[in-house]
């Protein structure tokens, strides 16, 4: 082997043995011989083109404190309180398959969107991450759930909640039990009438109104 080839071979070996990858795409390399140590930096362009992916809810249901059967096959979901006949709390459970983020990309944000067709002004609807399992046949009180992730004022049309922290946990390996929606005053029953909101479900005839989870990446 010639002297020049030997030096190249030694240099490659030292680089393989002493290199340390850094999170920002740079690296350093140090030879085993401290008397001839060296370092090198390099920046590599990101392989990701920022964008977003989305998923339509694959299961959802309304559960009622009055003991009525859940409405897993209904075209709408109900959230809120009512004193019509029997004092009742209504909560909605919604589950989404997590959309795949392209290789080389990382989560930037996650937004959950629901379309309301019947709103009572002055109410706030909170979304929580469900921490227990459930099905469309689950009855009251439903699964356990965490603190409110976000809340929005009731209104007709498309409403959006940021659920980035919950999405990040699920992508990191936590169980995906979906989300629970409830009135912020729940479990207090607001007297004197109906205070419920109606949202399109995953069975809604208009596919554009069904619950959707939008995940952005970069």
Over residues 137-151, the pLDDT tens digits come to: 999 999 999 999 999
Q: Per residue in 175-191, pLDDT tens?
A: 999 999 999 999 998 77
Each residue's pLDDT tens digit, 60-79: 999 999 988 888 889 999 99
**Confidence at 25, pLDDT banded by 50, 70, 90:** very low
Instruction: State yes or no: pLDDT of 115 exceeds 60.
Output: yes
Per DSSP, what are the bridge partners of residue 160? 113
CATH 2.60.120 residue ranges for the chain: 51-217
Q: What is the pLDDT of residue 28?
A: 44
How high is the pLDDT of residue 15? Answer: 39
Architecture in CATH for domain 51-217: Sandwich (2.60)
Q: How confident is the model at residue 169 (pLDDT cuts 50, 70, 90)?
A: very high
Quick one: pLDDT band at residue 84, thresholds 50, 70, 90?
confident
């Amino acid at each position: 082997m010639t002297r020049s080839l030997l030096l190249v071979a030694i240099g490659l070996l030292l680089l393989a043995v002493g290199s340390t990858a850094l999170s920002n795409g740079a690296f350093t390399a140090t030879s085993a011989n401290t008397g001839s140590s060296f370092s090198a930096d390099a920046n590599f362009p990101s392989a990701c083109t920022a964008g977003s992916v989305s998923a339509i809810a694959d299961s959802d249901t309304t559960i009622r404190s009055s003991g009525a059967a859940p409405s897993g096959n209904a075209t709408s979901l109900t959230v809120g309180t009512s004193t019509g006949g029997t004092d009742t709390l209504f909560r909605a459970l919604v589950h989404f398959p997590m959309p795949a983020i392209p290789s080389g990309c990382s989560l930037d944000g996650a937004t959950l969107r629901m379309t309301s067709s019947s709103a009572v002004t002055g109410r706030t609807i909170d979304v929580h991450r469900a921490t227990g399992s459930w099905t469309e046949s689950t009855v009251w009180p439903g699964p356990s759930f965490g603190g409110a992730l976000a809340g929005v004022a009731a209104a007709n049309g498309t409403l959006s909640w940021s659920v980035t922290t919950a999405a990040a946990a699920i992508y990191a390996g936590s169980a995906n039990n979906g989300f629970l929606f409830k009135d912020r005053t729940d479990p207090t029953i607001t007297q004197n009438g109906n205070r419920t909101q109606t949202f399109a479900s995953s069975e809604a005839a208009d596919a554009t109104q069904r619950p959707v989870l939008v995940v952005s990446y970069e």
